[in-house]
């Protein structure tokens, strides 16, 4: 395989495990998307490091250190900066995409920091580096 310095949209999508639609219709429409470095076939080619910088600065969610044993409400998780809103947590819980709460005392859902950390680590957008080919 040829090691190319640039990436085209299908390669970017594969490397960051997103759809080509996300690359071309969402990321590439952002004001900070890098300028093309050339063209390969019918696709614009982008500098690999410029793409990594864009993803780091505009897509990747920062890792958050939650206290593993502490119980957090959905709002407290949002306030801690996990990168998703309390409303998204509640909606994902209802759809089975978020773990059941570790505690429901007084009718309030609470998740241990360890549970929330595991849940967010499996979500898209937390990848720090592209997938190895």
Task: Give the start-to-end residue ranges of the domains of the chain.
Answer: 6-58, 71-121
Phi-psi region of 58 (alpha: psi -120 to 50; beta: other; left: phi over 0): alpha
Query: What pTM did the predictor assign?
Result: 0.58
Whole-angstrom distance, CA of residue 119 vs CA of residue 133: 25
pLDDT at 132 over 90: no
pLDDT at 27 over 70: yes
Q: What is the pLDDT of residues 68-115, one digit of tens each?
A: 999 999 999 999 988 889 999 999 999 999 999 999 999 999 999 999
17 compared with 51, residue with greater pLDDT: 51
- Buried residues in 9-46 as b, exposed as e (16+ CB within 10 A): bebbbebbebeeebbbeebbeeeebeebeeeeeebbbb
């Amino acid at each position: 395989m040829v090691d190319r310095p640039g990436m085209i949209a299908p390669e970017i999508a594969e490397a960051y495990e997103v759809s080509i639609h996300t690359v071309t219709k969402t990321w590439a429409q952002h004001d900070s998307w890098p300028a093309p470095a050339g063209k390969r076939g019918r696709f614009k080619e982008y500098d690999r490091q410029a793409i990594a910088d864009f993803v780091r600065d505009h897509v990747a969610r920062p890792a958050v250190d939650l206290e593993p044993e502490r119980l957090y409400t959905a709002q407290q998780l949002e306030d801690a900066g996990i990168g998703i809103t309390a409303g998204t947590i509640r909606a994902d819980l209802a759809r089975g995409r978020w773990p059941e709460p570790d505690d429901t005392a007084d009718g309030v859902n609470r998740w241990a920091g360890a549970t929330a950390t595991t849940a967010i680590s499996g979500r898209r957008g937390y990848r720090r580096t592209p997938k190895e080919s």
